[in-house]
């Protein structure tokens, strides 16, 4: 069963760390990424800051592109981890190990495979 | 370079589809993914269960807290994601514009950040 862990954090969270704290934080993140790679991780990584986001909408055949992010929030989506876990309890256990869980918020969502009812068309 | 396409869905638009239209849309999304795969642009994608099924996890001073989500209440909710490999932002935007779900919400395009972490001996 796949779960998407959305990593929400404030943009200023890294700026508030002392150099020593930042170094330890980076080290923890690298160790966590390695652990994911060797086990439950499917894909994942940090995303560029929300100010760089673009929003695309298609309405009545017309495509509009505006600068993002969507939505504007105190914490933003700073990264994501796609994992394979037995159940929600295991997914939460994996999410709780993420170093960003200490300074931000991890949102755990069940991810489905896209399988249409009729694939013969 | 990898780009994350966050698919925010407007329930008021997708909710208007008849069951047949819904099925046709799912098939279109499936075909869209396969087309990206054929072009070597596809990395991963998944629709997500509704925001009311989300769990929010935080760790503070070694103590784990959990509560029912979603983390942010919005008119459009995060209904899925598509991770693509694109040359640049323009190509990523082009891919997003062709996503069938762009008709029923907003696709947020975010570049993957490259983390430069020095390798340190343990």
| ipTM for the assembly | 0.81
Q: Which of A48, A58, A70 sits opposite B97 (nearest CB)?
A: A58
pTM over 0.80: yes
Q: Which residue in A94, A99, A104, A101 sits closest to A23, CA to CA?
A: A99
Q: So what's the pLDDT on residue B122?
A: 47
Q: Is B113 on the interface with A (CB under 8 A)?
A: yes
DSSP H helical ranges for chain B: 11-14, 19-38, 89-97
Torsion (CA) A71, B41, A49, A70 in degrees, nearest 10: -10
Chain A residues with CB under 8 Å of B69 CB are 107-109
For residues B92 and B102, the answer to whether their CB atoms sit within 8 Å is: no
User: Each residue of A12-53: pLDDT tens digit?
Assistant: 888 899 999 999 999 999 999 999 999 999 999 899 888 888
d(CA B80, CA B101): 10
Beta-carbon-side half-sphere exposure of residue A81 (alpha carbons within 13 Å): 30
User: Each residue of A32-42: pLDDT tens digit?
Assistant: 999 999 999 99
Chain B residues with CB under 8 Å of A54 CB are 89, 93, 96, 108-109
Point out which residues pair with A106 in neighbouring strands: A7, B57
Between CA A35 and CA A43, with CA A41 as vertex, the angle to 5 degrees is 125
Structure tokens at A44: 């994942």
């Amino acid at each position: 069963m796949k779960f998407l862990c959305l990593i929400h954090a404030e943009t200023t969270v890294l700026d508030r760390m002392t150099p020593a704290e930042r170094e330890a934080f980076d080290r923890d993140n690298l160790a966590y990424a390695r652990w994911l790679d060797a086990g439950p991780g499917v894909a994942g990584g940090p995303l560029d800051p929300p100010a760089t986001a673009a929003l695309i909408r298609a309405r009545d055949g017309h495509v509009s592109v505006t600068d993002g992010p969507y939505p504007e929030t105190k914490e933003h989506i700073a990264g994501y981890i796609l994992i394979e876990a037995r159940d929600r309890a295991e997914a939460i256990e994996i999410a709780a190990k993420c170093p960003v869980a200490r300074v931000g918020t991890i949102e755990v969502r069940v991810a489905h495979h896209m399988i249409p009812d009729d694939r013969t068309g | 370079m990898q780009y994350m396409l966050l698919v925010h869905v407007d329930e008021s638009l997708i909710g208007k589809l008849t069951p047949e239209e819904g099925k046709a849309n799912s098939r279109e999304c499936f075909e869209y993914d396969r087309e990206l795969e054929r072009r070597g642009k596809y990395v991963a994608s998944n629709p997500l269960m509704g925001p009311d099924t989300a769990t929010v996890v935080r760790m503070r001073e070694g103590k784990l807290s959990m509560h029912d989500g979603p983390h942010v209440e919005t008119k459009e909710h995060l209904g899925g994601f598509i991770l693509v490999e694109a040359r640049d932002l323009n190509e990523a935007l082009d891919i997003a514009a062709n996503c069938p779900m762009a008709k029923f919400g907003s696709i947020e395009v975010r570049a993957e950040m490259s983390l430069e972490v020095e390798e340190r001996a343990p």
